[in-house]
Amino acid sequence: MSQKTAFQGLQCTGCHSSYSKGEILQKCRKCGGLLDTIINPEILSEKSKDEIDSTRSMWRFRDFLPVDSEDKIVSAGEGDTPLRKLSSLQGNVWVKDETRNPTGTFKDRGASCAITALTRLGVKNLVLASEGNAGCSFALYSQIAKARCRVFLPRQVNSAKQELSRKMGARVTLVEGTIADAGRSAEAVVKSERSYNASTFVTPYRHDGKGTMALEICEQLGWRTPDWIVYPLGGGVGLVGMWKMFSILEKIGWIKKRPRLVAVQPAGCAPVVTAYNSKREDVDEWKNPETIAFGLKIPKPLAGKWILRSLRESGGIALSVTDEEIRKSMGQALKDEGLLLEPSSAATIAALPHLYGEKMIDRSEEVVVIATGSGLKTLEQL
């Protein structure tokens, strides 16, 4: 007899239509809206923090993820990343160091979760658009699951990310233009080949995986939350996923309050910052995006409404930083803290002088910055 699990199915974030967890779905069949997994807090409230097992990966929190108890986990040891104090910065700043994941980025959390969920459903042919890191992650986990993986990348993507995806078995196609163009190419293949589109928010199974960062941060701080989470925003999967998990933790009484969120984007591609500070309900497409932070070069995040709603619910902040500030922060993080960060990740460090200098955050408040990806794949940009 299988153990009762909190994963109950899927629900549309637009029209709120519900679907069973046995259906192979991408977007809502009725309105085309984005789907969210239904994780029942009442079932989770029956569990204790003392019951968390000793698995040294994000899967020690499998009760919070869209899997059943008997599902086979597709894992390469992702998660369980360090949370350490930054000694070189004034203020109370910690870094959640996601560079320690198998392919060097937090994308591994989303890929592990998605491919585990899709393997349960029998999906064996995956297609996705990526700015590079997600392509590497899905290549790795698809290989473990013995699934086929095809990745569409903008031609400008770092050569290391292209080559790593190929080495791990993915079929890589380079596309002229932005990730939006890569997304259109991926969708065309999905329709012609009957593949499954695992792109950001086209599949409902990636954001919960990244949400495990919130669970780990709370556990590492003794089941309390920091005052602020500073997050580099591209597609917004991690921000949405963490906010969802913080909300669940508060509902089941494991934490007393949720942190406030800071979304950081490069000045050359800041559609969410503009929308949030203009009090809009959705995000307009950013024309002619230009930045060294390729992972944040997302002209129009698919989950714009969802991202903005999460930021507003948290009482958050959205701000942009220049490429010059990002590049400077990459060098400082390496020299002062031994953190080798890619540009997209260093944007969080670049945001701190603004947050403190413009008194958006007090230096006495506890801050966690998410270091999303290693600079090993982007050495040419250091």
Nearest of 144, 125, 140 to residue 197 by alpha carbon? 125
Is 156 strand, coil or helix? coil
Mean pLDDT of 30-49: 96
Mean pLDDT of 304-323: 98
334-358 residue pLDDT tens: 999 999 999 999 999 999 999 999 9
Residue 1 has pLDDT above 50, yes or no: no
% residues pLDDT > 70 (the chain): 99
Structure token digits, residue 331: 């060098």
Helices (H), the chain: 41-44, 107-120, 133-144, 159-167, 179-193, 207-220, 237-251, 271-277, 304-314, 323-337, 343-357
- Are the C-beta atoms of 269 and 297 separated by less than 8 Å? yes
Instruction: List the Cα angle 172/298/105 in 5-degree steps.
Output: 60
* Element containing residue 39 per DSSP (H, E): strand 35-39
Residue 3 has pLDDT above 90, yes or no: no
Q: Give CA–CA dist 205/89, Å, rounded.
A: 36
- Contacting residues for 191 by C-beta, under 8 A, at least 6 apart: none
231-282 residue pLDDT tens: 999 999 999 999 999 999 999 999 999 999 999 999 999 999 999 999 999 9
pLDDT band, residue 193 (cuts 50/70/90): confident
Structure token digits, residue 374: 């290693």
pLDDT for 89 = 82
114-127 residue pLDDT tens: 999 999 999 999 99
* Element containing residue 366 per DSSP (H, E): strand 366-371
Mean pLDDT of 7-19: 97
Q: Give CA–CA dist 308/283, Å, rounded.
A: 8
Nearest of 227, 200, 366, 164 to residue 299 by alpha carbon? 200
150-183 residue pLDDT tens: 999 999 999 999 999 999 999 999 999 999 999 9
CA 149 from centre of chain? 20
Q: Give CA–CA dist 61/162, Å, rounded.
A: 31
In the chain, the domains with their CATH numbers are 7-61 (no CATH), 83-103+207-381 (3.40.50.1100), 107-197 (3.40.50.1100)
Check residue 204 and report its DSSP letter.
T
195-222 residue pLDDT tens: 999 999 999 999 999 999 999 999 999 9
Structure token digits, residue 84: 């350490």
Written as one string, the DSSP assignment of 301-356 is -TTHHHHHHHHHHHT-EEEEE-HHHHHHHHHHHHHHH---B-HHHHHHHHHHHHHH
Provide the whole-model pTM: 0.96
Q: Cα Rg for the chain, rounded, in angstroms?
A: 19
Q: Give CA–CA dist 128/200, Å, rounded.
A: 8
pLDDT band, residue 375 (cuts 50/70/90): very high
pLDDT for 121 = 96
CA 23 from centre of chain? 24
Mean pLDDT of 278-307: 96
- Around Cβ 170, how many Cβ atoms within 10 Å? 25
Nearest of 323, 331, 365, 120 to residue 229 by alpha carbon? 365
41-99 residue pLDDT tens: 999 999 999 889 888 999 999 999 999 988 999 999 999 999 999 988 878 999 999 99
**C-alpha distance across the termini of the chain, in Å:** 54
Is 95 strand, coil or helix? strand
